[in-house]
Amino acid sequence: MFSALQNRQFCWLLASNFLFFLAMHGQMLTRSVLAWNMTGDEMALASINAAYALPMILFALIGGALTDRFERRSLTQYGQWVLTINECTIWLLLLTDQLAFWHLIAAGVIGGIVNPMVMAARTSLVFNTVGAARLGNATALSASIVNVTRVVGPMIMGALVASVSVSAAYLCAVICFALCLFCLFGVDKKPPAPKTQDNSTALLADVKAGLIYVKNSRPILACLVFGFLPASLSIPVQNMLILFTDTVWNVGESGLGMLMAVAGVGGIAGSFWVAKRGENNRRVKPMIVTAVAFTIFQLFFSASPNIYLAIVPFIIANACASACMTLNNTALQLIVDDEQRGRVSSVMMMTYGFTPLGVLPLAWMAKQFGVNWVVSLASFGLCLVILFFYKRSNSLRLLDNTVAQTLHKTNSKY
């Protein structure tokens, strides 16, 4: 289950990734809470998420091209410095009571520009540290860490907001970013993968080459589309939980912290279930089952009349979403050529960048009809979309065979 942890550099990288994604995912909640407290407007939540998501979509491909062009550890560290300073600035503005709503928008834009590069480089560093032999286990563990922090990060930040203050949550993020920067020194530098063209080639030509590579690979396209589906609902709902606790169940920030805690339990269970499967190449059926189960239990969660009845379906929904996305991300990393890894990772980040934008229509409809009804309807619709995509995508149904063939070629090469 943990064979990749025998590699010391991978352990340092995993620790750095855990701290980075813990802060990043946690701050999604903190920004939403702060925006809600400052404005009391559902559309403020949408604005905050759009400020982060739109630059992420626009700059993701450039970040991926830079990842494949330059040394990945150094690139990650440079980006990490910018993010640390960005969060520290907001924290200081909070402490001095000088924070305005436009500061949150500006910080979101900066994060949306830099994060795609940092995340693509971190994903690509996994192969650089463990090689092909343990890539499957290392990718599963890395994806597990990402998905665990997707729920544990907001859980921790929610608890800090409820029991201490929003500024304490921002301080926690600053500390995490600084520590993850330190952990990267445990990873050796390694030149980027050989390319057919040199670095004098225009950066946009690298971007175009990456897009052509993704376009010509139906299995990669299938992974990207399928991975987007559960995230398109789980991430917006995560950012709108405060609407459930404040306007539906009237349990306030203490209820928000409770939901974050149980979500963390589910996320950890789902992610480590995937890691325990090891190098098991049968992923498609578990992906479909967990994706559909996620929508069903998310519907039960949103339709619950009180928070206590919502806890169990919320745990199961998060476990299923975490397991599904981990299985999908692992399959994607196993079938990608290393010289294209950064650009494919950036396309994945770009698709995930659209998920916070899901808050826009959901927030508007929640304002008109109530968040519980809107999320219930969205869950039912997403279930139908997942089943339709599985039926229509031959590449998704044959993904297990594609992974097995790619692993055989990679092991022969290395």
User: pLDDT tens digit string along 220-254?
Assistant: 999 999 988 888 888 788 777 878 888 889 887 67
Q: Of 106-110, 159-163, 200-204, 397-401, which gets the smallest average pLDDT?
A: 200-204
Looking at residue 295, what is its pLDDT? Answer: 95
**Contact criterion met (CB below 8 Å) for 144 and 5:** no
Rg (CA), the chain: 20
d(CA 260, CA 256): 6
Backbone angles phi, psi at 206, to 5 degrees: -65, -40
Which residues contact residue 37 at a Cβ distance below 8 angstroms, ignoring those fewer than 6 apart? 166
Number of neighbours of residue 410 by Cβ within 10 angstroms? 19
Looking at residue 136, what is its pLDDT? Answer: 65
pLDDT over 70 percentage in the chain: 89
Q: Is pTM beyond 0.75 here?
A: no
User: pLDDT tens digit string along 48-105?
Assistant: 777 877 787 777 777 777 877 778 888 889 999 999 999 899 899 988 888 888 888 8
Looking at residue 48, what is its pLDDT? Answer: 77
- The mean of the pLDDT values for the chain is 82
Backbone angles phi, psi at 286, to 5 degrees: -60, -35
**Contact criterion met (CB below 8 Å) for 353 and 112:** yes
CA distances from 205 to 14, 209, 339 (A): 32, 6, 14
Structure tokens at 170: 């921002």
Backbone angles phi, psi at 277, to 5 degrees: -70, -15
Which residues contact residue 183 at a Cβ distance below 8 angstroms, ignoring those fewer than 6 apart? 12, 13, 15, 16, 19
**Contact criterion met (CB below 8 Å) for 33 and 142:** no
User: pLDDT tens digit string along 282-334?
Assistant: 889 999 999 999 999 999 999 999 999 999 999 999 899 988 988 888 888 88
